[in-house]
Protein backbone atom coordinates (compact mmCIF):
# COMPACT_ATOMS: atom_id res chain seq x y z
CA UNK A 1 0.00 0.00 0.00
CA UNK A 2 1.27 3.48 -0.90
CA UNK A 3 0.26 7.05 -0.22
CA UNK A 4 -1.01 9.03 -3.21
CA UNK A 5 -1.29 12.82 -3.05
CA UNK A 6 -3.54 14.95 -5.25
CA UNK A 7 -2.64 18.61 -5.51
CA UNK A 8 -6.08 19.81 -6.65
CA UNK A 9 -7.76 18.43 -3.53
CA UNK A 10 -4.72 18.76 -1.28
CA UNK A 11 -5.53 15.26 -0.04
CA UNK A 12 -3.66 12.01 0.40
CA UNK A 13 -5.18 8.53 0.20
CA UNK A 14 -3.73 5.06 0.71
CA UNK A 15 -4.10 2.66 -2.19
CA UNK A 16 -3.05 -0.86 -3.00
CA UNK A 17 -2.75 -2.48 -6.42
CA UNK A 18 -6.51 -2.99 -6.37
CA UNK A 19 -8.17 0.35 -5.74
CA UNK A 20 -11.39 -1.62 -5.74
CA UNK A 21 -12.82 -4.95 -6.80
CA UNK A 22 -16.45 -6.00 -7.03
CA UNK A 23 -17.78 -9.44 -7.94
CA UNK A 24 -21.45 -9.01 -8.75
CA UNK A 25 -24.09 -11.53 -7.75
CA UNK A 26 -25.46 -11.60 -11.32
CA UNK A 27 -23.65 -12.59 -14.49
CA UNK A 28 -22.33 -9.78 -16.65
CA UNK A 29 -19.26 -8.29 -18.30
CA UNK A 30 -15.79 -7.86 -16.88
CA UNK A 31 -14.64 -4.24 -16.84
CA UNK A 32 -11.11 -3.27 -15.80
CA UNK A 33 -10.16 0.33 -15.05
CA UNK A 34 -6.53 1.43 -14.79
CA UNK A 35 -5.33 4.64 -13.17
CA UNK A 36 -1.92 6.00 -12.30
CA UNK A 37 -0.01 4.21 -15.05
CA UNK A 38 1.88 7.50 -14.91
CA UNK A 39 2.66 8.34 -11.31
CA UNK A 40 2.07 12.07 -11.66
CA UNK A 41 -1.49 11.47 -12.93
CA UNK A 42 -3.42 10.91 -9.74
CA UNK A 43 -6.89 12.16 -10.74
CA UNK A 44 -7.95 8.74 -12.04
CA UNK A 45 -6.82 7.07 -8.83
CA UNK A 46 -8.93 9.47 -6.75
CA UNK A 47 -11.89 9.09 -9.12
CA UNK A 48 -11.83 5.29 -8.86
CA UNK A 49 -11.37 5.48 -5.09
CA UNK A 50 -14.47 7.68 -4.82
CA UNK A 51 -16.59 5.49 -7.12
CA UNK A 52 -15.71 2.24 -5.36
CA UNK A 53 -16.51 3.84 -2.00
CA UNK A 54 -19.86 5.16 -3.23
CA UNK A 55 -21.27 2.55 -5.56
CA UNK A 56 -24.00 0.15 -4.47
CA UNK A 57 -22.28 -3.20 -4.96
CA UNK A 58 -25.66 -4.91 -5.25
CA UNK A 59 -26.26 -3.09 -8.54
CA UNK A 60 -23.18 -4.60 -10.20
CA UNK A 61 -23.52 -7.36 -12.76
CA UNK A 62 -20.35 -9.23 -13.64
CA UNK A 63 -17.01 -8.00 -12.28
CA UNK A 64 -15.45 -4.57 -11.92
CA UNK A 65 -11.79 -3.95 -11.13
CA UNK A 66 -9.92 -0.74 -10.39
CA UNK A 67 -6.17 -1.26 -10.77
CA UNK A 68 -3.48 1.20 -9.71
CA UNK A 69 -0.66 1.35 -12.24
CA UNK A 70 2.80 2.45 -11.18
CA UNK A 71 2.60 2.31 -7.39
CA UNK A 72 6.26 3.23 -6.93
CA UNK A 73 5.89 6.32 -9.11
CA UNK A 74 2.52 7.26 -7.58
CA UNK A 75 4.12 7.23 -4.15
CA UNK A 76 6.72 9.74 -5.36
CA UNK A 77 4.41 11.76 -7.58
CA UNK A 78 6.63 11.14 -10.61
CA UNK A 79 5.64 10.08 -14.13
CA UNK A 80 7.97 7.07 -13.76
CA UNK A 81 11.20 6.16 -12.01
CA UNK A 82 13.37 4.57 -14.72
CA UNK A 83 11.14 3.52 -17.63
CA UNK A 84 7.79 4.91 -18.74
CA UNK A 85 5.35 2.14 -17.74
CA UNK A 86 3.09 3.14 -20.64
CA UNK A 87 5.79 2.61 -23.25
CA UNK A 88 7.08 -0.90 -22.47
CA UNK A 89 4.04 -3.11 -23.15
CA UNK A 90 5.32 -5.06 -26.15
CA UNK A 91 5.32 -8.86 -26.42
CA UNK A 92 9.06 -8.89 -27.00
CA UNK A 93 9.78 -6.76 -23.96
CA UNK A 94 7.37 -8.67 -21.71
CA UNK A 95 9.06 -11.95 -22.65
CA UNK A 96 12.45 -10.38 -21.90
CA UNK A 97 11.33 -9.16 -18.48
CA UNK A 98 9.97 -12.59 -17.53
CA UNK A 99 13.40 -14.05 -18.23
CA UNK A 100 15.40 -11.34 -16.46
CA UNK A 101 16.56 -11.39 -12.84
CA UNK A 102 17.54 -7.71 -12.88
CA UNK A 103 14.49 -5.52 -13.01
CA UNK A 104 14.03 -1.84 -12.24
CA UNK A 105 10.95 -0.75 -10.24
CA UNK A 106 8.89 0.16 -13.33
CA UNK A 107 9.58 -3.23 -14.91
CA UNK A 108 8.51 -4.98 -11.70
CA UNK A 109 5.26 -3.00 -11.83
CA UNK A 110 4.63 -4.27 -15.37
CA UNK A 111 5.12 -7.91 -14.39
CA UNK A 112 2.77 -7.58 -11.41
CA UNK A 113 0.06 -6.01 -13.57
CA UNK A 114 0.66 -8.54 -16.35
CA UNK A 115 0.04 -11.40 -13.92
CA UNK A 116 -3.17 -9.78 -12.69
CA UNK A 117 -4.38 -9.34 -16.27
CA UNK A 118 -3.69 -12.98 -17.10
CA UNK A 119 -5.61 -14.08 -14.01
CA UNK A 120 -8.59 -11.86 -14.85
CA UNK A 121 -8.70 -13.03 -18.46
CA UNK A 122 -8.44 -16.67 -17.39
CA UNK A 123 -11.14 -16.46 -14.72
CA UNK A 124 -13.32 -13.58 -15.87
CA UNK A 125 -16.45 -13.65 -17.96
CA UNK A 126 -16.60 -12.09 -21.43
CA UNK A 127 -17.13 -9.52 -22.75
CA UNK A 128 -14.07 -7.70 -21.43
CA UNK A 129 -13.59 -3.93 -21.33
CA UNK A 130 -10.32 -2.18 -20.51
CA UNK A 131 -10.34 1.53 -19.69
CA UNK A 132 -7.17 3.49 -18.90
CA UNK A 133 -7.64 6.80 -17.05
CA UNK A 134 -5.13 9.58 -17.72
CA UNK A 135 -4.63 13.34 -17.50
CA UNK A 136 -2.50 15.73 -19.53
CA UNK A 137 0.11 18.35 -18.68
CA UNK A 138 -1.69 20.97 -20.82
CA UNK A 139 -5.19 22.33 -20.56
CA UNK A 140 -7.63 20.18 -22.50
CA UNK A 141 -11.16 19.12 -23.15
CA UNK A 142 -11.95 15.64 -21.85
CA UNK A 143 -11.45 13.16 -24.67
CA UNK A 144 -11.13 9.49 -25.57
CA UNK A 145 -8.11 7.93 -27.30
CA UNK A 146 -8.41 4.62 -29.09
CA UNK A 147 -6.50 2.21 -31.26
CA UNK A 148 -8.38 2.22 -34.55
CA UNK A 149 -10.64 -0.84 -34.34
CA UNK A 150 -14.38 -0.77 -34.98
CA UNK A 151 -15.26 -2.17 -31.56
CA UNK A 152 -13.37 0.71 -29.96
CA UNK A 153 -15.00 3.28 -32.23
CA UNK A 154 -18.50 1.97 -31.52
CA UNK A 155 -18.07 1.81 -27.75
CA UNK A 156 -16.43 5.24 -27.62
CA UNK A 157 -19.32 6.86 -29.45
CA UNK A 158 -21.49 6.32 -26.36
CA UNK A 159 -19.67 9.18 -24.60
CA UNK A 160 -20.25 12.92 -25.26
CA UNK A 161 -16.57 13.73 -25.81
CA UNK A 162 -14.23 13.94 -28.82
CA UNK A 163 -12.47 10.77 -29.96
CA UNK A 164 -8.87 10.70 -31.15
CA UNK A 165 -7.69 7.63 -33.02
CA UNK A 166 -4.45 6.44 -34.56
CA UNK A 167 -2.12 7.03 -31.62
CA UNK A 168 -0.73 3.48 -31.94
CA UNK A 169 0.97 4.56 -35.15
CA UNK A 170 3.16 7.00 -33.24
CA UNK A 171 3.82 5.32 -29.87
CA UNK A 172 5.55 2.06 -29.01
CA UNK A 173 4.43 0.01 -26.03
CA UNK A 174 1.28 1.64 -24.56
CA UNK A 175 -0.76 -0.66 -22.33
CA UNK A 176 -3.91 -0.22 -24.44
CA UNK A 177 -2.12 -1.14 -27.67
CA UNK A 178 -0.99 -4.37 -26.01
CA UNK A 179 -4.56 -5.14 -24.91
CA UNK A 180 -5.90 -4.32 -28.36
CA UNK A 181 -3.66 -6.97 -29.87
CA UNK A 182 -5.65 -9.42 -27.73
CA UNK A 183 -8.86 -8.26 -29.39
CA UNK A 184 -10.70 -6.55 -26.52
CA UNK A 185 -12.42 -3.19 -26.24
CA UNK A 186 -9.65 -0.96 -24.90
CA UNK A 187 -10.00 2.80 -24.62
CA UNK A 188 -8.18 5.62 -22.89
CA UNK A 189 -9.86 8.57 -21.24
CA UNK A 190 -8.03 11.84 -20.65
CA UNK A 191 -10.12 13.68 -18.07
CA UNK A 192 -8.30 17.03 -17.94
CA UNK A 193 -5.15 18.72 -16.75
CA UNK A 194 -3.16 16.91 -14.06
CA UNK A 195 -3.88 19.18 -11.12
CA UNK A 196 -7.39 20.44 -11.86
CA UNK A 197 -10.40 19.34 -9.82
CA UNK A 198 -12.49 18.74 -12.93
CA UNK A 199 -10.01 16.03 -13.95
CA UNK A 200 -11.34 14.04 -10.97
CA UNK A 201 -15.03 14.82 -11.46
CA UNK A 202 -14.77 14.08 -15.20
CA UNK A 203 -13.06 10.81 -14.34
CA UNK A 204 -15.86 9.84 -11.97
CA UNK A 205 -18.48 10.69 -14.60
CA UNK A 206 -16.71 8.62 -17.23
CA UNK A 207 -16.39 5.64 -14.90
CA UNK A 208 -20.11 5.67 -14.12
CA UNK A 209 -21.08 6.02 -17.79
CA UNK A 210 -18.69 3.18 -18.67
CA UNK A 211 -20.38 0.94 -16.13
CA UNK A 212 -23.76 1.68 -17.68
CA UNK A 213 -22.72 1.31 -21.33
CA UNK A 214 -20.81 -1.91 -20.68
CA UNK A 215 -23.85 -3.40 -18.95
CA UNK A 216 -22.24 -3.54 -15.52
CA UNK A 217 -25.00 -1.34 -14.10
CA UNK A 218 -28.51 -0.78 -15.43
CA UNK A 219 -29.14 2.83 -16.38
CA UNK A 220 -32.19 2.82 -14.14
CA UNK A 221 -29.93 2.02 -11.17
CA UNK A 222 -27.90 5.20 -11.72
CA UNK A 223 -30.19 8.17 -10.98
CA UNK A 224 -27.36 10.62 -11.74
CA UNK A 225 -26.71 9.25 -15.24
CA UNK A 226 -27.97 12.40 -16.99
CA UNK A 227 -25.95 14.62 -14.67
CA UNK A 228 -22.73 12.71 -15.43
CA UNK A 229 -23.48 12.70 -19.16
CA UNK A 230 -24.17 16.45 -19.24
CA UNK A 231 -21.11 17.19 -17.12
CA UNK A 232 -18.86 15.61 -19.75
CA UNK A 233 -20.84 17.12 -22.61
CA UNK A 234 -20.46 20.59 -21.15
CA UNK A 235 -16.75 20.22 -20.33
CA UNK A 236 -16.12 18.91 -23.86
CA UNK A 237 -17.91 21.99 -25.23
CA UNK A 238 -20.33 19.66 -27.02
CA UNK A 239 -17.59 18.48 -29.37
CA UNK A 240 -18.14 14.84 -30.34
CA UNK A 241 -16.19 14.63 -33.59
CA UNK A 242 -13.64 11.97 -34.39
CA UNK A 243 -10.08 13.17 -34.98
CA UNK A 244 -6.99 11.47 -36.32
CA UNK A 245 -3.38 12.07 -35.35
CA UNK A 246 -1.41 13.24 -38.38
CA UNK A 247 1.91 14.33 -36.86
CA UNK A 248 4.12 13.84 -33.81
CA UNK A 249 7.01 16.08 -32.81
CA UNK A 250 9.31 13.48 -31.26
CA UNK A 251 11.94 14.24 -28.64
CA UNK A 252 15.09 12.45 -27.50
CA UNK A 253 16.26 11.97 -23.93
CA UNK A 254 18.24 14.83 -22.45
CA UNK A 255 16.92 17.55 -24.74
CA UNK A 256 15.90 20.99 -23.52
CA UNK A 257 12.34 21.30 -24.85
CA UNK A 258 10.04 24.09 -23.74
CA UNK A 259 6.56 24.69 -25.11
CA UNK A 260 5.47 28.29 -25.41
CA UNK A 261 2.81 28.98 -22.75
CA UNK A 262 -0.95 28.57 -22.95
CA UNK A 263 -1.41 26.13 -25.84
CA UNK A 264 -4.39 23.82 -25.27
CA UNK A 265 -5.35 20.51 -26.81
CA UNK A 266 -7.79 20.95 -29.74
CA UNK A 267 -6.63 24.53 -30.29
CA UNK A 268 -6.43 25.49 -33.97
CA UNK A 269 -2.98 26.67 -35.04
CA UNK A 270 -1.63 27.97 -38.34
CA UNK A 271 1.42 26.75 -40.22
CA UNK A 272 4.49 28.64 -39.01
CA UNK A 273 3.11 29.37 -35.53
CA UNK A 274 5.94 29.43 -32.97
CA UNK A 275 5.19 26.54 -30.62
CA UNK A 276 8.31 25.76 -28.64
CA UNK A 277 12.06 26.04 -28.13
CA UNK A 278 14.19 22.93 -28.60
CA UNK A 279 17.79 23.25 -27.47
CA UNK A 280 17.45 27.00 -27.96
CA UNK A 281 16.03 26.79 -31.50
CA UNK A 282 12.53 27.71 -32.59
CA UNK A 283 9.98 25.00 -33.28
CA UNK A 284 7.12 26.07 -35.56
CA UNK A 285 3.95 24.34 -36.68
CA UNK A 286 4.60 22.41 -39.91
CA UNK A 287 0.98 22.76 -41.14
CA UNK A 288 -2.45 24.10 -40.31
CA UNK A 289 -4.06 21.75 -37.78
CA UNK A 290 -5.25 21.38 -34.20
CA UNK A 291 -2.54 20.95 -31.61
CA UNK A 292 -2.91 17.97 -29.32
CA UNK A 293 -1.30 17.17 -25.95
CA UNK A 294 1.48 19.79 -25.96
CA UNK A 295 4.11 18.85 -23.39
CA UNK A 296 4.25 20.99 -20.25
CA UNK A 297 6.19 18.66 -17.97
CA UNK A 298 9.82 17.62 -17.61
CA UNK A 299 9.35 13.98 -18.60
CA UNK A 300 7.98 12.63 -21.85
CA UNK A 301 9.27 12.19 -25.38
CA UNK A 302 6.25 13.51 -27.27
CA UNK A 303 6.60 17.27 -27.68
CA UNK A 304 3.19 17.68 -29.28
CA UNK A 305 0.84 16.03 -31.74
CA UNK A 306 -1.24 17.51 -34.54
CA UNK A 307 -4.72 16.21 -35.31
CA UNK A 308 -7.41 16.70 -37.95
CA UNK A 309 -11.12 15.95 -38.04
CA UNK A 310 -12.22 12.84 -39.95
CA UNK A 311 -15.23 13.18 -42.22
CA UNK A 312 -18.19 11.00 -41.16
CA UNK A 313 -18.31 9.75 -44.77
CA UNK A 314 -14.85 8.24 -44.48
CA UNK A 315 -15.68 6.73 -41.10
CA UNK A 316 -18.68 4.98 -42.63
CA UNK A 317 -16.69 3.91 -45.69
CA UNK A 318 -13.91 2.43 -43.60
CA UNK A 319 -16.44 0.47 -41.53
CA UNK A 320 -17.94 -1.04 -44.69
CA UNK A 321 -14.54 -1.92 -46.15
CA UNK A 322 -13.42 -3.56 -42.92
CA UNK A 323 -16.59 -5.59 -42.43
CA UNK A 324 -16.27 -6.95 -45.96
CA UNK A 325 -12.53 -7.64 -45.46
CA UNK A 326 -11.65 -5.65 -48.54
CA UNK A 327 -8.03 -5.71 -47.40
CA UNK A 328 -7.75 -9.21 -48.89
CA UNK A 329 -7.29 -7.45 -52.21
CA UNK A 330 -4.18 -5.63 -51.00
CA UNK A 331 -2.05 -8.76 -50.75
CA UNK A 332 -2.38 -9.45 -54.47
CA UNK A 333 -0.77 -6.11 -55.34
CA UNK A 334 2.97 -5.89 -56.15
CA UNK A 335 5.20 -5.30 -53.12
CA UNK A 336 2.54 -6.25 -50.53
CA UNK A 337 2.39 -9.57 -48.68
CA UNK A 338 0.91 -11.04 -45.49
CA UNK A 339 3.22 -11.13 -42.46
CA UNK A 340 1.99 -14.59 -41.47
CA UNK A 341 -0.56 -17.28 -42.29
CA UNK A 342 -3.08 -15.78 -39.86
CA UNK A 343 -3.17 -12.59 -41.97
CA UNK A 344 -2.77 -10.36 -38.92
CA UNK A 345 -0.71 -7.81 -40.80
CA UNK A 346 0.89 -6.77 -44.05
CA UNK A 347 4.47 -6.13 -45.06
CA UNK A 348 4.98 -3.47 -47.70
CA UNK A 349 8.04 -3.02 -49.90
CA UNK A 350 8.24 0.75 -50.23
CA UNK A 351 10.36 0.57 -53.37
CA UNK A 352 7.49 -1.14 -55.16
CA UNK A 353 4.37 -0.01 -53.33
CA UNK A 354 5.21 3.59 -52.52
CA UNK A 355 2.26 4.68 -54.67
CA UNK A 356 -0.06 3.33 -51.95
CA UNK A 357 -1.15 6.35 -49.91
CA UNK A 358 -1.34 6.06 -46.12
CA UNK A 359 -5.06 7.03 -46.02
CA UNK A 360 -5.91 3.93 -48.07
CA UNK A 361 -4.30 1.68 -45.48
CA UNK A 362 -6.05 3.61 -42.70
CA UNK A 363 -9.44 3.08 -44.32
CA UNK A 364 -8.84 -0.66 -44.25
CA UNK A 365 -7.74 -0.66 -40.60
CA UNK A 366 -3.96 -0.68 -40.97
CA UNK A 367 -1.55 1.45 -39.00
CA UNK A 368 2.06 1.38 -40.08
CA UNK A 369 5.35 0.81 -38.30
CA UNK A 370 8.65 1.26 -40.12
CA UNK A 371 10.75 -1.92 -40.13
CA UNK A 372 13.66 -0.38 -42.00
CA UNK A 373 14.20 2.16 -44.75
CA UNK A 374 12.57 0.02 -47.39
CA UNK A 375 9.77 -1.85 -45.61
CA UNK A 376 6.67 -1.07 -43.58
CA UNK A 377 4.88 -3.44 -41.26
CA UNK A 378 1.16 -2.71 -41.09
CA UNK A 379 -0.96 -4.13 -38.29
CA UNK A 380 -4.73 -4.57 -38.51
CA UNK A 381 -6.71 -4.45 -35.27
CA UNK A 382 -9.87 -5.70 -36.97
CA UNK A 383 -8.52 -9.19 -37.62
CA UNK A 384 -7.67 -9.57 -33.93
CA UNK A 385 -10.92 -8.13 -32.59
CA UNK A 386 -13.14 -10.52 -30.67
CA UNK A 387 -16.22 -9.08 -32.34
CA UNK A 388 -18.41 -12.08 -31.52
CA UNK A 389 -18.22 -11.16 -27.82
CA UNK A 390 -19.68 -7.71 -28.52
CA UNK A 391 -21.75 -8.13 -31.69
CA UNK A 392 -25.16 -8.49 -29.99
CA UNK A 393 -24.69 -5.75 -27.39
CA UNK A 394 -26.83 -2.60 -27.63
CA UNK A 395 -23.90 -0.21 -28.15
CA UNK A 396 -22.48 -2.34 -30.97
CA UNK A 397 -25.83 -2.46 -32.76
CA UNK A 398 -26.32 1.28 -32.31
CA UNK A 399 -29.15 0.97 -29.79
CA UNK A 400 -29.53 3.19 -26.75
CA UNK A 401 -29.39 1.71 -23.26
pLDDT per residue over 346-375, tens digit each? 888 877 766 556 778 888 888 766 667 777
Residue 395 lies in a domain: no
* Residue 174 and residue 33 in one domain: yes
Residue 144 lies in a domain: yes
pLDDT tens digits, 164-203: 998 888 988 999 999 988 999 999 999 999 999 999 999 9
Q: In what order do the strands lie in the sheet with 281-284?
A: 257-259, 274-278, 281-284
Q: In this predicted model, which residue has the larger pLDDT, 343 or 54?
A: 54
Report whether pLDDT(246) > 80: yes
Asked whether the beta carbons of 143 and 163 are under 8 A apart, the reply is yes
pLDDT tens digits, 65-103: 999 999 999 999 999 999 999 999 999 999 999 999 999
Report whether pLDDT(275) > 90: yes
* Residue 205 and residue 284 in one domain: no
pLDDT value of residue 368: 67
* Residue 92 and residue 182 in one domain: yes
Give the number of other CB atoms < 10 A from CB of residue 17.
16
**Mean pLDDT within 296-300:** 92
The percent of residues above 70 in pLDDT, for the chain, comes to 97
* Residue 252 and residue 156 in one domain: no
* Residue 143 and residue 247 in one domain: no
Q: Model confidence at 22, in pLDDT bands (50, 70, 90)? A: very high
- Lowest-pLDDT choice from 240-244, 302-306, 320-324: 320-324
* Residue 44 and residue 185 in one domain: yes
* Residue 167 and residue 60 in one domain: yes
Report whether pLDDT(343) > 80: no
Q: Which among 153, 123, 18 is positioned nearest to 62, based on CA atoms?
A: 123
Q: In this predicted model, which residue has the larger pLDDT, 25 or 41?
A: 41
* Residue 159 and residue 282 in one domain: no
* Residue 234 and residue 328 in one domain: no
Residue 400 lies in a domain: no
Domain boundary among the residues 292, 309, 326 is at: 309
Q: Which among 5, 20, 26 is positioned nearest to 55, based on CA atoms?
A: 20
Domain boundary among the residues 309, 333, 363 is at: 309
Report whether pLDDT(213) > 70: yes
Q: Model confidence at 376, in pLDDT bands (50, 70, 90)? A: confident
Per the structure, the complete domain to which residue 351 belongs is given by 312-380
* Residue 89 and residue 232 in one domain: yes
pLDDT tens digits, 122-162: 999 999 999 999 999 999 999 999 999 999 999 999 999 99
Q: Model confidence at 400, in pLDDT bands (50, 70, 90)? A: low
* Residue 27 and residue 171 in one domain: yes
Report whether pLDDT(326) > 80: yes
pLDDT value of residue 383: 79
**Mean pLDDT within 248-255:** 90
Sequence-separated (6 or more) residues with CB below 8 Å from residue 290: 243, 265, 266, 267, 268, 269, 306, 307, 308, 309
Number of domains the chain is built from = 3
Residue 178 lies in a domain: yes
Report whether pLDDT(340) > 90: no
Question: For the chain, what is the mean pLDDT?
Answer: 93
Q: In this predicted model, which residue has the larger pLDDT, 308 or 400?
A: 308
Q: What backbone phi and psi angles, to 5 degrees, belong to 173? A: 85, 20
- Lowest-pLDDT choice from 20-34, 41-55, 156-170, 320-334: 320-334
Q: Model confidence at 296, in pLDDT bands (50, 70, 90)? A: very high
Q: In this predicted model, which residue has the larger pLDDT, 280 or 398?
A: 280
**Mean pLDDT within 253-263:** 93
d(C-alpha 162, C-alpha 164), whole Å: 7
Amino acid sequence: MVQVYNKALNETINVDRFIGKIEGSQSGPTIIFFAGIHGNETAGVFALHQVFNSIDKGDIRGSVYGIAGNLSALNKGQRFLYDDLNRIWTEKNIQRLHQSDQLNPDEKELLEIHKILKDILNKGQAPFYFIDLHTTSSQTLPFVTINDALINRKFSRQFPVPIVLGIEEYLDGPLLSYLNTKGYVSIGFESGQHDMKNAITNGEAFIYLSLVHSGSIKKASLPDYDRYFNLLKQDAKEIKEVFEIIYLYQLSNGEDFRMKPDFKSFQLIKKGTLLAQRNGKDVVAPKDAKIFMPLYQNRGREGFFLIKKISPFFLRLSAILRRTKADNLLAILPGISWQDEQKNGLQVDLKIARFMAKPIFHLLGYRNKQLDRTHLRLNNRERNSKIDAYRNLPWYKGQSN
